[in-house]
Chains A and B, each alone.
Chain A
């Protein structure tokens, strides 16, 4: 199951020629010997801009939570707001703290007949989806994503549990990857 480079001539997002297609260089993995590891092949990673976008969106949510808490508690003297606001703020700060490492753990590999997707450090997840199982590919990008030129690619199969969602791809990468996936899926089309 090695990953022959000529199989994936244009979908390889590791074409780091231009600056806005740069992706992470190194995968973050658990330290334990017992972690999940796949032999051979290259893990393609996502763009560092994903972290920026997520930091901005989570950060602004945190700012809103803090502001709302302060206003409600200090101006309107609602004491219970401290609890709700505090819990929300702690969750947000934690999310922000682990975000950069989480983003480095997201990877995908284009093998000969299937796509392997991985994410998570503490809770690792590996999913292998045969190309022929593709029902459709979704590319979504919000306003912030567009500003930074990244997009999220979702590989949809007939099973809802598959859950292969690759966030933070450079837009051009997402599009070439989509075209490539559709092309290989077409040649490996199977029934449901």
Chain B
């Protein structure tokens, strides 16, 4: 139970590692204005320079641009150009001063906006304040966090900085902290996830804010000493990068891109253009070149993006990394996956490759181009990879269910098919795939299997299902079948199933309604670690390979730090039986 008092409680110091997440307001990294505004300024200067290149050459290095002089004279005759005015009236000093003044004002603005841009992390929220004239304050409750991602664009990366984005649910609902130093960003992310997980402290007598440090240095000191004594809790995220469960060889990555429909499209385009050109329609060549360039760029970009792909379990969710130059790391807490689709395009079938995409709440605005970053959780992989990724994104599935998904869902129908398929009489609705087109309702998931050419299997966790609909048109009615559609949050997966037997579908309608209500009520993933603490299970569901036991002695702890150790009890799972779900609604 949180106290609804106006000053929000600082997070319990035992739960946070970073001095930045102590419940106080903090500024972002001092180099932020350089990265956010400085680059913009550079671009503006670049544009100005490239437009005035000839002119500047003529003014400063006239012997290098002999031909430009005539043009300048022409321009001068036309009049009205400020550069001409400056040149004509010898106002170089004034012009330089003006430029300098503008620069100073811009720098001042960037500096002030940096001063005013602050954030804090309290026990229940992440808050960001920004703006000079128009102040905005955004507060995101931690139990609604859909994920935390850490982006390191090329330039920021060189400076050792990273952008942290707390993903919320809703249009443009993300809270961005840009930029922090990489180490801080990592620590803050870990803190946010730890706080969001609802993990309770072993000792109820250590309330947050009881020993609030007076200053930042004190906080830092506290954190450092805490780190040194290093006895917090067992389920600490492994230091360093967790091992990825899937490795995509470069060859497979490139081949998977070559074996795609866009390559087929490109092939046909080339054929069309060759025919066109040989028939004398030479202008087709001109449309072709930009198309090739565009395709090549897309191709290279998507391969580059997948080059450093890795997916690994952490105590606080699945960690997915992408990107070669700009790395994006996202931790997806449990229960944030709304739909999973395993697909195999026809051209990948000989190689036995599959891809996995998910629906999730991104919290980005629709205009944001990087929308689909984390919807592909497996760009290309063999069956074993699919199984491993599935284990991460759907940890609640049992091994039997996973085997079922692989054997029957991906490759089915087999003998003794568990799925309920399209009845024979409705074969004409799905002439190719009617034997495969079906569904299966298990305890916690609804599986939809379809497609023969593009094999697809959709896994819908019932706890995330928003609603379920039946749709029947006149032709369906003629065959006594109906279509089913599960409504989930927006994403690349559209869970639609055509032509299910009408009686079966009506039964499914009721079953899904009942099962999804039950699943949603028993779902506790918005505070994913709380139940385990309450139940006294110290190990998180996604068992990390290297979760250290709750040892009272930290490996780095020098002997002098030992006497301080008993002050904070080790992370015994003897959690108080706190009310499991007392949250703000």
Show the binding face of A for B, using Cβ within 8 Å. Answer: 1, 30, 32-38, 111, 113-114, 116, 122-130, 132-133, 157-162, 164, 186, 188-192
- Report yes or no: A191 in contact with B523, Cβ–Cβ below 8 A: yes
Within the complex, the shortest CB–CB distance from B338 to chain A, in Å, comes to 8
Verify if B144 is at the interface (C-beta below 8 Å from A).
yes
7 contacts between A and B (CB under 8 A): A34-B478, A113-B513, A132-B521, A160-B490, A162-B487, A190-B463, A192-B146
Question: CA separation between A134 and B535, bound complex, in Å?
Answer: 30
Q: Are B477 and A130 closer than 8 Å at their CB atoms?
A: no
Q: How far is the CB of A9 from chain B (nearest CB, A)?
A: 21
- Given A37-B506, A159-B489, decide whether A128 and B521 contact each other with a Cβ distance below 8 A: no
A191 touching B525 by the CB < 8 A rule? yes
Query: Contact between A164 and B467 (Cβ–Cβ < 8 Å)?
Result: yes
CB of A115, distance to nearest CB on chain B (Å): 9
B467 touches A130 (CB 8 A): yes
Instruction: Please give the distance in Å from B396's CB to the nearest CB on chain A.
Output: 14
**Is B304 engaged at the interface, CB distance under 8 Å to the other chain?**
no
Cβ 8 A contact of B472, one of A113, A123, A129, A157: A123
Residue in contact with B467 in the complex, picked from A111, A157, A189, CB distance below 8 Å: A157
Whole-angstrom distance between the Cβ of A151 and the nearest chain B Cβ: 22
Beta-carbon contact of A158 and B521 below 8 Å: no
Q: Which residue of A lies closest to B473 (CB)?
A: A123
Interface size class of B (residues with CB under 8 A): 35 or more
A30: chain B residues within 8 A (beta carbon): 477
Are the C-beta atoms of A159 and B490 separated by less than 8 Å? yes
Residues of B within 8 A of A125 (CB): 469-472
Cross-interface CB contact of B513 among A124, A130, A188, A191, cutoff 8 Å: A130
Which residue of A35, A114, A186, A188 contacts B477 across the interface (Cβ within 8 Å)? A35
Contact between B468 and A161, CB atoms less than 8 A apart: no
Q: By the criterion CB–CB under 8 Å, are B520 and A132 in contact?
A: yes
Known: A38-B506, A132-B521. A159 touches B514 (CB 8 A): no
**Contact present for B502 and A36 (CB under 8 Å):** yes
Q: Give chain A residues whose Cβ lies under 8 Å from the Cβ of B488.
A: 159, 161
Residues A130 and B506 in contact, CB atoms below 8 Å apart: no
Q: Which 10 A-B pairs have the closest CB atoms?
A: A159-B466, A159-B487, A190-B520, A129-B467, A127-B469, A191-B526, A34-B480, A113-B517, A161-B487, A157-B466
Given known pairs A114-B517, A129-B467, A162-B467, the reply for A124 and B523 (CB within 8 Å) is no
A128 touching B473 in the complex, CB below 8 Å, given contacts A191-B526, A192-B169: no
- Contacting A at CB under 8 A, from B470-523, are 470-474, 477-482, 485, 487-490, 502, 505-506, 509-510, 512-514, 516-517, 520-521, 523
List chain B residues, Cβ under 8 A from A191. Answer: 335, 463, 520, 523, 525-526
Task: Give the distance in Å from the alpha carbon of A133 to the alpha carbon of B488 in the complex.
Answer: 11
Interface contact A36-B520, CB-CB below 8 Å: no
- Closest B residue to A192 by CB, please name it: B169
Cβ of A133 and Cβ of B520 under 8 Å apart?
A: yes
Q: Report the separation of the CA atoms of residues A126 and B505 in the bound assembly, to the nearest whole angstrom.
A: 11
Identity of the chain A residue whose Cβ is nearest the Cβ of B516 in the assembled complex = A130
**CB closest chain-B residue, reference A123:** B473
**Residues on B with beta carbons closer than 8 Å to the beta carbon of A189:** 585
Given the interface pairs A37-B506, A122-B474, A127-B467, the reply to whether A158 lies near B525 with Cβ below 8 Å is: no
Instruction: Give complex CA distance A150, B280 in Å.
Output: 66
* Interface residue B361 (Cβ < 8 Å from any Cβ of A): yes
Q: What residue in chain B is nearest A128 (Cβ atoms)? A: B513
A188 surroundings in chain B (CB, below 8 A): 517, 521
Q: Which residues of B contact A123 (CB under 8 A)?
A: 471-474
Contact, CB under 8 Å: A158 / B361: yes
15 more CB-based (< 8 A) A-B contacts, given A34-B479, A125-B471: A34-B472, A37-B506, A113-B513, A127-B468, A128-B512, A132-B521, A158-B361, A161-B485, A161-B487, A161-B488, A162-B487, A189-B585, A190-B520, A191-B523, A192-B169
Q: How many angstroms between the C-alpha atoms of A159 and B464 in the bound complex?
A: 10
CB-based nearest A residue for B466:
A159
In angstroms, Cα B366 to Cα A160, docked, is 14
- Report yes or no: B523 in contact with A190, Cβ–Cβ below 8 A: yes
B464, B466, B478, B509 interface centre (most CB from chain A within 10 Å): B466
Interface residues of B in 260-317 (CB under 8 A from A): none
Find residues 533-555 in chain B having any chain A CB closer than 8 Å to their own CB.
Answer: none
B467 touches A113 (CB 8 A): no
CA distance A157 to B487 in the complex (A): 9
Chain A residues whose C-beta falls within 8 Å of the C-beta of B502 in the assembled complex = 34, 36
Q: CA of A122 to CA of B506 in the docked complex: distance in angstroms?
A: 18
A126-B509, A191-B335 known; A36-B169 Cβ under 8 A: no
What separation, in Å, do the CA atoms of A143 and B472 have in the docked complex?
34
Q: A30-B477, A133-B520, A186-B585 are in contact. Are A113 and B514 (CB under 8 A)?
A: yes
Given the known interface contacts A37-B506, A126-B469, A191-B525, the answer about A1 and B477 at a Cβ–Cβ threshold of 8 Å is: no
In residues 330-353 of chain B, which contact A (Cβ within 8 Å)?
335
Q: Is the CB of A124 within 8 A of B521?
A: no
Which residues of A have CB within 8 Å of B463? 190-191
Q: Are B466 and A128 in contact (CB under 8 A)?
A: no
Distance to closest chain B CB from A30 (angstroms): 6
Is the Cβ of B477 less than 8 Å from the Cβ of A34?
A: yes
The distance in angstroms between the C-alpha atoms of A85 and B509, with both chains bound, is 43
Distance in Å: Cβ of B326 to nearest Cβ of chain A: 28
Complex: chain A residue closest to B469, CB-CB: A127
Query: Which residue of the partner chain B has the closest CB to A121?
Result: B474
A126 partner, pick from B470, B473, B514, beta carbons under 8 A: B470
A122-B473 contact, Cβ under 8 Å, with A160-B490, A162-B487, A192-B464: yes
Given contacts A126-B509, A190-B523, contact A36 B470 (CB under 8 A): yes
Say whether, besides A1-B513, A132-B517, A186-B585, A162 and B466 are in contact (CB < 8 Å): yes
In the complex the two chains form, what is the Cα distance from A186 to B516 in whole Å? 17
A133 — which chain B residues lie within 8 A by C-beta?
466-467, 520
Contacts of A132 in B (CB 8 A): 517, 520-521
**Alpha-carbon distance A129/B468, docked complex (angstroms):** 7
Q: Are A128 and B471 in contact (CB under 8 A)?
A: no
Q: How far is the CA of A126 from the CA of B361 in the complex (A)?
A: 25
Q: In the complex, which residues of chain A have a beta carbon less than 8 angstroms from the beta carbon of B487?
A: 127, 157, 159, 161-162
Closest Cβ–Cβ distance, residue A77 to chain B (whole Å): 40
| Cβ-closest chain B residue relative to A116 | B513
Task: Write out the residue numbers on chain B whose beta carbons fall within 8 Å of the beta carbon of A158.
Answer: 169, 361, 466, 489
Which residues on B sit within 8 Å (CB–CB) of A32?
A: 477-478
Determine the residue in chain B with the shortest Cβ distance to A189: B585
CB neighbours (8 Å) of A111 from chain B are 513
Q: A111 vs B512: C-alpha distance in the bound complex, in angstroms?
A: 14
- Distance of A21 from chain B, by nearest CB (Å): 27
Contacts of A130 in B (CB 8 A): 467, 513, 516-517, 520
Q: Tell me which residues across on chain A come within 8 A of B478, comparing CB atoms.
A: 32, 34
Which of B464, B482, B512, B513 has a CB less than 8 Å from the CB of A36? B482
